Amino acid sequence: MYTYLLGPLLALLPRRWRARLVPEAAVDWPRAVLVSGLAECVTCLVALIGWYLYAIQKYIDLQVAPRLNSPRDVPGNEYVIGFAALIMVVTHPVSWALFCFWLEGAFRAFAALITEETPGSLRLVLMDRLIFRAQRWREEARVPLVSDEVARGDGKQSWDLKVTSCRPKPSWRYPLAISYEEEFFQVIGEAPDAVTAERPHVYLLRRPHPAEALRGPEHYDPHDALREESEPGFFRIVFREVHKRWQMRRAPLVPDEIRNTLSREGSGLLVRGCRPKPEWSPGRLIRYKEAYYRVQAVRTDRPPRPFVFELMRMPAGVPSRSVLLYSPEDPLEKGG
């Protein structure tokens, strides 16, 4: 419901604003951005056609014909009058604005459909970047840019991991999960009483319960703050992702590779496939060889099996609703 009702409106906002406004909303953002982009594209196209029909008649009747001082029924004059009115409509700022909005909607729909990117409206994104840069400059003038400091709990505290950072992390809100050193942790809150002048933002995390569905997870590196200065722009990311996915889909069709894993949370599976599995989202239950597994994380690697899925084995008696049956031969049977 959120994806198709509230999602298309929220999809116009930059990602940072969405994380603050609806951190727990169950929204499929690629689909929401696709619907939002198509709606923007169709609306602007209809408005552009209506504006053209209205404006060209207006210019012909009120401006072009009187200036030429010639009746429209004279042979050849209708072409001159129509061409002059067309030039005036095409060069009008309203026409350019509607065309730009139509182009933006088409691009957002294309990005969501092809690369599953979720860009917001360009105007709001530019505004967000200006606000973000202003906050960054003010923050940098007060706090130097350094790597995060990570501390592990000894079991006596209510947290298992404490991250102290020089920069805020707007998306780090409960129940977001992060992956750190091949372990999963869930954000439970902040600790204002533990801040320092060098790192004024402190986040507390704990290990999730084995049966708890995770939102995310995001890969975390304590040096992320230092890399943000050299991050590529949006268009470079989109084209790089298109090229990457094109290369992945060219990978040969081979059966999945399965490896047993063992961690503090229990046993599990590491599944490497040659094709994506869109239905294997984090938290989804999978049945394999009479056992049930929950998808923990999804990431990409190199061909010939670039799609990697981390699964955790579930205890006996788990509900069997919404369970996907899985076989390593599925890519061959489905033909990719």
List the alpha helices (DSSP H) in 229-319.
Answer: 234-249
Alpha-carbon distances of 97 from 91, 101, 124, rounded to whole Å: 11, 6, 15
218-230 pLDDT, tens digit each: 788 888 766 655 4
pLDDT of 247 reads: 63
pLDDT of 323 reads: 81
pLDDT of 222 reads: 84
What residue ranges in 200-288 does DSSP mark as E strands?
201-206, 215-219, 257-263, 266-273, 285-288
Handedness of CA 284, 9, 22, 218 (dihedral sign): positive
pLDDT of 248 reads: 61
Q: Where are the domains of the chain?
A: 7-127, 149-230, 252-334
Show the low-confidence residues of the chain (pLDDT under 70): 1-3, 23-26, 60-82, 136, 139-141, 211-216, 225-241, 243-251, 317-322, 331-336
Question: CB neighbours of 179 closer than 8 A, spacing ≥ 6?
Answer: 217, 218, 219, 220, 297
Cβ proximity of 140 and 68 under 8 Å: no
pLDDT of 90 reads: 82
Quickly count: other Cβ atoms within 10 Å of residue 106's Cβ: 17
pLDDT of 230 reads: 47
Cβ proximity of 48 and 102 under 8 Å: yes
User: Given phi > 0 = left and psi -120 to 50 = alpha, else beta, which region is 311?
Assistant: beta
Cβ proximity of 223 and 147 under 8 Å: yes
Which pTM does this prediction carry? 0.44
pLDDT of 237 reads: 62
pLDDT of 74 reads: 47
